[in-house]
Structure 1
């Protein structure tokens, strides 16, 4: 029988909810140093939070730009265009929530990987310190659909990344959880059912 969580106080409840969120959440300071993170963030950052806390986000995410300067994350010229750092600065300046898409190039030690996130930043005040809560929502599948899709000129099947061909309905259902219903456009209805369409065109006088 699974163990039940005993919520002795609001703090333990908040921590369980925090860790239940499937998207990575980082709590950072003005220099994007990680003060805390949820379980989902821990899974992509490092096996031990001791290797993550108080380090800048770009360094633990292995952002390519953080490797361009000896000073690390935020010190290279391209860092001025960083969506994550910019979101933190705007959030601290305005005290308002912001949401922006970001494309990051990360080095996983074997290859450079391009990832797409929707970055949400919200202000947080804790122990007289101004912090920012960052939520990184994976936009990879949506960005993939924004690109050109190979589609068969005859049967209109779509080719996926594994070189397999699927009906359009199957492809979108798999990638966007979209269900389809079928009907007939006026042109196809007239071609398939000309007599029926002809009767509809003849209005009673």
Structure 2
């Protein structure tokens, strides 16, 4: 029944093909909504591109099914699922997700909602364009495609031997640890203070330069490899109730406690559901005034796990001081062609040296040129020939 190209078959599913290709974004939003509602988003990617790739892969498998099968791809007990190009998607996904620590029931549970998303699309976009019988045929075809993908996943999963699975998991855990260390190192090395707030507007993490704003002798990574704030306080209180508590990191600290000078702007940012905000602010840190350009933005997390706020501080104190120390003259200056006075912004004519003195950092010392000396003081021989 399979691997027989059939022109009528491809024509039959031409409308469904068009709908699938034109509604990738719709399918992404649908499955993400199911994942958020049913709790699967706690274990899935935070970035939209990963969801797009999963939809793209499934859609490609469905379109491959249109080319491979002349009719609904029913199942039979003697079929070798490893030879099925549709099931191959499930086999590959089994290998990927097992490496990531995803269990069989977690994957199959979420796959049911992927299936439901495609069925939802069918009835949302197509049923008004085709007969009820054709809609049932489309739905059955989609269901059998997903059945084959899920069977392929289960065959690959159950065929994995215990020792090889453990070794595979160990290798991939080392790779994930190295990847985490790579991005943690980059985060700590960013040449501007970066602060991450969670949805409760408490400190989730900050890089080295940010931590140094509040406490000296901080080590790189100290804010990541640290107990959360509440646990720190609990442990230190038990060790010595009379000792002043000075936690080693700021995780769990409320915004109002550590960043009171930013509380108003952060609340405004959250209350108005802004995507980003940029502003300048002068603050007093350890009795020294600094001017920062502050950038606030949302975390690019569509799963809801890490939907916090990113704050980046750029120290522009030196730049502001330099700009304040510089006065420049620019544009056209109205000057009298006879007496050389300059007309100011208020319409008054003033001596050129007074105008320049008031509008720049230049100062004057008076002397006399050779021509004026000869004209006004001919007997003094100020300049020798």
The alignment's TM-score, normalised by the length of structure 2, stands at 0.29
- Larger-gyration structure (1/2): 2
**Bigger helix share:** 2
